[in-house]
Amino acid sequence: MKIGSVQCESGTRTTGYLEVTTLPTGGAERLPVVVARGEGDGPTLWITGGIHGNEMTGVAAVQDVLTNGVPDGLRGTVVCVPMCNPSGIRRLERTSSYHDDDPNRFFPAADAADTTGKRVQELIDERLYEEIVDSADALLDLHTAQVGSVPFVIRDRVLYGTHRDEAAARDLAGRLDGLARATELPLVNEYPAEEYADRNLHRSTAGAVLNEAGIPALTLELGGHDAIEEGSRAAGVAAVYRAMRHLEMLPSVPESIAGADPGFESPVSFPVRRFVGPRAESVGICRPQIETGTAFEAEEAVADVVSPHGDCVETLSAPHDGYVLGWRSPVTYENDPVSSLAIRDEGDLVTPRS
């Protein structure tokens, strides 16, 4: 197996770079790559991070997966790419600097329109995607979410109609479910299919690898952005090792890794999905009324909006049972969503692409 400059032999850990474009100032934009190959044959697991340049706990967790060399008893291959958006990381910004695009929305999709030609971020995403699907049996893409966010794993809906029939989609969704549960992070289903497509999430790293290539792929959200949060980092590394054990690449999770995980659990026992809202009709400053990671019931107050003078002008309530994942900007303009919630999910995890 060769990925960029990395040619990895059995029983070794090798580092190098994957060049993804040429820079106008000279040299290349290149993604750091770390590959560890076990002595025995087994699956290939890709771990990616830093596609959003301000999500540094994800970067740190990917860096730490192989920092101690080849894991004892490893079968198969682990490929780590901690910085998928170096241009964003250099300025600690979510987007890349080329055109200020969100780099996690340009991965290949069957329904992607191309009328004006592909710009550099889309070409970079395509090159990374081709490397991933060339060898991956599974992918974990590590991110962070909002301010004060609790860690969770996102399970995308599996689409059928273009690349697979419904039976194949259910089989893929079953394998995805097993991998998601194996991480032992709180499990949150992705938005309903229509909103998923509207937000171009089928063109995210995990969305494209799952729904285009048919390879189990998950997005892990490891706390808040900008800083490196130690508990979420340790939970992310442990989640990766549990996925390796689930894929029969490791006999067990090393105690040093399992023991460092603070352990994050869902506060509710029912299935939940991502929801952005509620939305403030009033302009002002949002004041959370409950802690992240705390359960609420439908209609319960989650936040107030206060005027410039500090008077409460609106109380926002939960649309459904669930819990708070994280808070969005405390500054609310007209119709701004104030939080990211996990709300009760009654939808199917397998849906037609149309």
Residue ranges that bind Zn ion, judged by CB under 5 A: 52, 55, 143
User: How many residues are listed for the chain in this entry?
Assistant: 354
**Least distance from Zn ion to the Cβ atom of residue 143, Å:** 3
Q: DSSP code of 183?
A: T
**Least distance from Zn ion to the Cβ atom of residue 175, Å:** 24
Nearer to Zn ion, 49 or 278 (CB): 49
Nearer to Zn ion, 293 or 326 (CB): 326
Burial of 232 (0-12, 13-18, 19+ CB in 10 A): buried
**Least distance from Zn ion to the Cβ atom of residue 70, Å:** 29
Nearer to Zn ion, 209 or 305 (CB): 209
Q: How far apart are CA 7 and CA 150, in angstroms?
A: 37
Nearer to Zn ion, 143 or 246 (CB): 143
Q: How far apart are CA 296 and CA 299, in angstroms?
A: 9
Give yes or no for a contact between 302 and 289, defined as CB atoms under 8 angstroms apart: yes
Q: Which of 45, 117, 127 is nearest to 84 (CA)?
A: 127
Q: What is the dihedral of CA 145, 92, 232, 296, to 10 degrees?
A: -20
Q: Where is 287: in which H helix or E strand?
A: strand 284-288
**Least distance from Zn ion to the Cβ atom of residue 254, Å:** 27
Nearer to Zn ion, 219 or 351 (CB): 219
Nearer to Zn ion, 55 or 122 (CB): 55
Nearer to Zn ion, 98 or 160 (CB): 98
**Least distance from Zn ion to the Cβ atom of residue 337, Å:** 16
**Least distance from Zn ion to the Cβ atom of residue 5, Å:** 27
Give the strands of the sheet with 75-81, arranged side by side: 13-22, 28-37, 75-81, 40-49, 138-145, 217-224, 152-155, 187-189, 272-276, 339-344, 322-327, 295-296
Name every residue whose Cβ is closer than 8 Å to that of residue 109 and which is 6 or more positions away in sequence.
202, 203, 208, 211, 212
Q: Which residue has the CB atom at the shortest distance from Zn ion?
A: 143
**Least distance from Zn ion to the Cβ atom of residue 42, Å:** 29
